[in-house]
Amino acid sequence: MAKSRAVRESATTFSRLRQAHPDAHCELGHEGAFQLVVATILSAQATDVSVNRVTPGLFAKYPDAQSLAEASLEDVQACINKIGMFRQKAKNITKTAKMLVDKHGGRVPSTLDELVELPGVGRKTANVVLGVAYGSPEGVVVDTHVQRISQRLGWTKNTTPEKIERDLMKLFPRSDWDPLSHTLIFHGRRICAAQKPACAACSLTDACPSAFRAENVGRKPPRQRGKPAKKKGSKKKLAKKKAAKKKAPSTKKAASKKSTTGKKVARQKRTNSIARGKSAAGAR
């Protein structure tokens, strides 16, 4: 069966990207699958650089699942307190270590279904471990760099990681899934930045539909600051409200009207009383 034009073109572009970044690899420091899964859990909403600053000390004290499973939570927190959300991450990696010991004999499982059962491990983390440690990913790791560049290259029109991953899995064979993410990550860090992509220094401008306007493609929309605008109702609802206001007088108006009516009645009573008195006097 002949390959589609999109598949052929994306394969050619990826080949050129790999030539531009032949050293692309997972930059999380680790030795073995256990340390990789721990480092990947720690990397959530944190840079690889910041994770690599804390893991040497952590792994020196707790090099395997058994030792980390027996560690106190306070000690683990002290080892990783220089990265964001270190308290929650400390809970996740200690719980993961205990589950690995209790359920898997201290070894990291090699299937997606088993990996995502571990605390702090989602599909993305699981595929990092499967691709890097076992060479058998079950999908493409879609981080912010992969998402942005795959959109700029025209490989996907979707905006969510799940849908982007499906698009990339259709375009590329399984053997490319792991190196694809690493190569796009390196390209994103070195050339195709989010705000100021270096299109002039990129070797793919002839193949990139977003060249020299990439800053407008693949970026997250700016955050809305300040108070959100009040939602306006439909024209029919507004018309109904105005009509109701006209029909129903305000409390002040109603009170004022009631008071005026009462005064008129009192004056009329006094007038009638005076008239009756005069009438009675004349009769006498």
Catalytic site residues? 124, 143
Give 1's contacts (C-beta < 8 A, 6+ positions apart).
Answer: none
The amino acid at residue 262 is G
Alpha-carbon distance of 98 to 80, in angstroms, equals 18
Alpha-carbon distance of 62 to 66, in angstroms, equals 8
Nearest to 152, CA basis, from 191, 198, 208: 208
DSSP H or E run through 121: none
Give 194's contacts (C-beta < 8 A, 6+ positions apart).
Answer: 144, 148, 188, 215, 218, 219
Give 94's contacts (C-beta < 8 A, 6+ positions apart).
Answer: 68, 69, 71, 73, 76
> Contact, 136 vs 192, CB < 8 A?
no
Alpha-carbon distance of 115 to 123, in angstroms, equals 8
> Contact, 29 vs 23, CB < 8 A?
no
> Contact, 121 vs 148, CB < 8 A?
no
Q: Is the four-CA dihedral 38, 176, 188, 165 of positive or negative sign?
A: negative
> Contact, 124 vs 141, CB < 8 A?
yes
Query: Encoding tokens for residue 1?
Result: 């069966």
